[in-house]
Structure 1
Amino acid sequence: MNNSLVIKEYGKEHQIQVVDLILQIQQKEYNIPITKDDQPDLFAIEDFYQTGNGNFWIAVYNKKVVGTISFLDIGGNQVALRKMFVDKEFRGSTFKTASLLLDRAIEWAEEKSVKAIILGTTPQFLAAHRFYEKNGFASISPNELPESFPVLQVDKRFYKLDVNVT
């Protein structure tokens, strides 16, 4: 792993890069018809994600945002994993960006006594499905979701990780 890759909490100075990265992956790579206007949370990250047991982290390589992950506090000591995106060049075993982001988020969850991490994803994110399963997430049906879980229109597959609180 290259020591230039750093995982840190989101700060407002990274907003433009975060929006650009996420839109690039959604629109260009996966052809999802979504715009920045469809995602107002990206323009209020501090208020939307960085409250309660929620947070938002970024992976930075040489001052460039190359990955994101966030938790949205949904109550009941549970969080929704949202906005997990990694630049194509930083995926895989060379940088381990996704693993580093997820490890930091899970560490946060343990510190905050979060009981469960739940996520929704799109059917076409096959590599993401394998990644979550490899990291201990179990596939769940939509009727197993907590009432407070914010299902997005594109969410068709759901996963849950029970957190080992230390």
Structure 2
Amino acid sequence: MPVEVNQFIYGNSLVNFAGGSAQSNVPYWMNQFSDAAGNTYAANGGYGFLRQFADREEPSNEWGFQGVTGLWDSDVAGFDDVSFDSVLLTPGNFIQGLAPDEPYPGDTRSPLDASIDVVRETIADQPNAQFFVYEGWGDLGSLYGFPVTDSQL
């Protein structure tokens, strides 16, 4: 039975690399995998980092991807007027050394605080969505030697 995924992405340049080709964007590949399996994939998203997402009144619909259908047209509908069944939350790639509850440098909020705010606000508008965290650039180099062992992963 075909699966339909409608995904909103809180992302950064590790999800949508504007300086590359269509193939350098995660939604492009999600759509390719979906098509190959006989499923459908639609995606919208916005660029930023956890604190910026937490501070916005409504998510931004800033992205479109070659070959990927968008579900949300923010010119005619609010975020709560559409139904996303999947939400991808992307933490910044430069905070791997912080504990989840350790405040960002120069701030009183932590990545965990910002994530909770984003999830809480999103659930109010998208109560049936499943949430996924995408770690786009796991930094093992500064913590472990190379190659890493299975237990270090």
Q: Rg larger in 1 or in 2? A: 2
User: Which TM class, normalised by the smaller chain length?
Assistant: 0.3 to 0.5
- Could you state the TM-score of these two structures normalised by the residue count of structure 2? 0.32
**Larger relative contact order (Cα-Cα within 8 Å, sequence gap ≥ 6):** 2
The structure carrying a bigger strand percent of its residues is 1
The structure carrying a bigger helix percent of its residues is 1
